Amino acid sequence: MDPRMQFKTVHNEPKIEDMLKVPIGLTDQVRKSVEKAESFKQECAEVSRKVDALGRLLRQAARFATTSSVGLYESPTRRIVVDVEKTLQKASILVKKCTRSGMLRRVITITNASDFRRLNQHLENSVVDVQWLLSVSASGEDRPALIGMPPIASTDPILALVWEHISIVHVGNDDERAQGASCLADLAKDDRSAKIIVEEGGVAPLLRLLREGTVAGQEESARALGCLASDRERVQKMRMESATSVFAQILGHASMKVQAMVAWALSEFCDRDEESQNECAAAGGIRLLVYLLAHEVDDSNKNDSNKAGLYNVIKNTMEHPQGSAGKPPVRPRVDSSYRSSAKVQPVSVEPRNYGTEAWSSPGENARTESFPSSLRTTSKSSRDNEDPETKLRLKVQVARAIWKLAQNNVKNSKLITDTRALLCFAKLIETGKGEVQVNSINAVMAICSSAEKSSEIRKAAFKTTAPAAKAVVDQLIRVIESGEPVVQEPCLVAIGCLARTFSAPIVRIIGPITKALKTLDPKVAAEAAFALYKFVHPKNYHHVEHSRTILELNGAQLLVSWLTNQDPNTQKKALMLLCCLSVNAPDHAALAQAMVRTRLENMTRSTVVTQNPELRNALIDALSRLEVYQASIHRPHNMVAPYE
């Protein structure tokens, strides 16, 4: 029996074969009791016929459970067997009341025909339940037509739908499995239905379909898994079944449509669970995603003579990579056994070489092909012939997956910067539109946020002489100058995170950010002010030089206009920056021209200051420095001078 095809028994619970022995034994007891019946003989005979039919079905189920390569669908089987056992126990009790030894009991309990009618209805429901169970558990030509909703799930139709579609995904043919996965994906959009799918063992057959199915089946399976990942608890359960490892495995050899959908599903996992980020990176997912992204960037731009400059840099980096990498880790295979709640125990498989050579140092192998063999083969046979929409969708989802992998994860960001991902993102920010550009900018923002926390990333990936760093910064500045607010905000965040990497003076960087303060969008202005704040913060070595550059660019006057804005966040960040500028360069004429001291004194009673002790202290410090260089003005009675 193929272990991958078997409906696996849940740990610490009896086997299905053992559970079926009890109701089968009860059918024999009921039949013997009917033979001894002295009253309600006609009713007992009807019960006997239904019990015999139920017994035949139960014996068929027992044979199926022990001889079939698939076995019975465990989750509904356990519920149905328990319900059938209760029904047969009721039948046994009722029939015994009609025997000679049970005459007195019958008189006392007043057995009547209505009891038999209710019992017959329960027996009929049990017969239909077992018939339905056999129909959903069978595969191939042995599979009978489905008979609709089982009575056991009549109070919860969604449960019956989930059972049916999970079973189809597990034992149907290729077309049926793809359709079943599509139905599960649609059901998973509802939170309760998604919870039922995971609890009823739907993850394992979806993962097996993702690994072994047709292109349509793989795509629908990935979509279903991505829809299930809308909740962190469900993501953790699916991760325990090695879902992220399967994603990384599929990214290496699937078609572009499947890769795009898997990349989206992976991004959903990583967006809600940090461990999914780490597991995907350990399985080699980051390098595979960068390979896919670089391939699409190369294909879309290698013939563009107007954009040849950056492409040549990318190509040179491909041929002479600077990042080092060891052998990819062994990726576990998912045990595709069907089970309701048992965890999959991954087993090792032979490691695949996903382009390790391309990431070795120049001394080891200076000129190598840039893609793993599986991706190179795929690209030659079909990738170049894919429609533009599929290629675009792949770029969108791969960029999003890298973004989610880097989000709040310094280790993954370091792995990403060790590849040529930054150059790819620079190209996509330059030439991309819509979701491609947005996802690329967000990915760069996530990497820059990690660089702010890690000096290693700053020194290795964002040193001013690095071509990738220069290309990325140039594109971020370009978007800040001419982009829409939706992309200006993450670009400002990214540049602010890199503030400590720039030398002074750096007008080409600070100028566009200061100009962004002229915007009418409070959110953009707030991010611009906060980015400049990181330039002038005392932790920045060049904070004094940066402060004077901002003031010379009329930054003080622009900030003063935001102090009266109704948005508290914008007001707070503008005030924080003005306080730093006043402390770093209190003698600058631009502060006096903008009447900064008066403006700051007027802010002492504002809500944003009174509710923020740190901001209040910064405001007091700024006023004390300005007092030395600017004319004395009447101080509000509630403001305590710092040196009095």
| Per-residue pLDDT tens digits for 126-173 | 999 998 888 888 766 556 556 677 888 888 889 988 998 998 898 888
Token pair 């590849």 is found at 419
Q: Is the dihedral of CA 472, 474, 475, 477 positive or negative?
A: positive
Q: Which residue has the tokens 């030439």?
A: 431
The pair of three-digit structure tokens given for residue 537, joined into one six-digit string: 């913060």
What is the per-residue pLDDT for 141? 58
Asked whether 247 and 261 are in contact (CB, 8 A), the reply is no
Residues 6 or more apart whose CB falls under 8 angstroms from that of 42 comprise: none
Element (H, E) at 201: none
Report CA torsion sign: 210, 215, 219, 221: negative
Amino acid, res. 49:
R
Is residue 295 within 8 Å of 375, Cβ to Cβ? yes
Nearest-10 Cα torsion for 421, 425, 428, 430 = -140
Please give the helix or strand (H or E) that residue 588 lies within, else none. Answer: none
* Cβ atoms 133, 73 nearer than 8 A: yes
What pLDDT, on a 0 to 100 scale, did the predictor assign at position 113?
A: 80
Q: Please report the pLDDT score of residue 381 as a whole number.
A: 55
Helix-helix angle 243-251:203-212, to 10 degrees:
10
Specify whether the CB–CB gap between 75 and 54 falls below 8 A.
no
- Distance of alpha carbon 614 from alpha carbon 288, whole angstroms: 45
Q: What is the DSSP string of 113-136?
A: HHHHHHHHHHHHHHHHHHHHHHHH
**Residues 204 and 211: beta-carbon distance below 8 Å:** no
CATH number of 156-241: 1.25.10
CATH class of the structural domain 261-320+375-501: mainly alpha
Radius of gyration of the chain (CA): 34
User: For residue 322, with 0-12 CB atoms within 10 Å meaning exposed, 13-18 middle and 19 or more buried, which class applies?
Assistant: middle
Q: What's the CATH class of domain 505-644?
A: mainly alpha
pLDDT given at position 535: 95
- Distances in Å between the Cα of 376 and the Cα atoms of 313, 422, 455, 522 are 21, 22, 36, 48
Task: Output the pLDDT for position 12.
Answer: 61
**Residue 108: per-residue pLDDT:** 55
Tokens of 303: 């013939």
332-333 and 347-348: which strand pairing? Answer: antiparallel
In three-state form (DSSP H/G/I as H, E/B as E, the rest C), the secondary structure along 342-377 is: CCCCCEECCCCCCCCHHHCCCCCCCCCCCCCHHHHH
Cβ proximity of 534 and 498 under 8 Å: no
442 neighbors 490 (Cβ within 8 angstroms) = yes
Do the first three CATH levels of 261-320+375-501 and 505-644 match, i.e. the same topology?
Answer: yes
Distance of CA 527 to the CA centre of its chain: 27
Cis upstream peptide for 362 (omega within 30°):
no
Instruction: Name the CA dihedral angle for 375, 377, 379, 383, rounded to a multiple of 10 degrees.
Output: -100
Which backbone phi and psi does 99 adopt, to 5 degrees? -80, 170
Q: So what's the pLDDT on residue 64? A: 85
Show the low-confidence residues of the chain (pLDDT under 70): 1-12, 100-111, 139-147, 298-384, 631-644
| Type and span of the H or E element at 1 | none
The pLDDT assigned to 7 comes to 44
**Which helix (DSSP H) or strand (DSSP E) does residue 107 occupy?**
helix 103-109
Domain limits, the chain: 15-154, 156-241, 261-320+375-501, 505-644
3-state helix, strand, coil in the chain (%, to 5): 70, 0, 25
Beta bridge partners of 338: 7
Write out the CATH class of domain 15-154.
Answer: mainly alpha
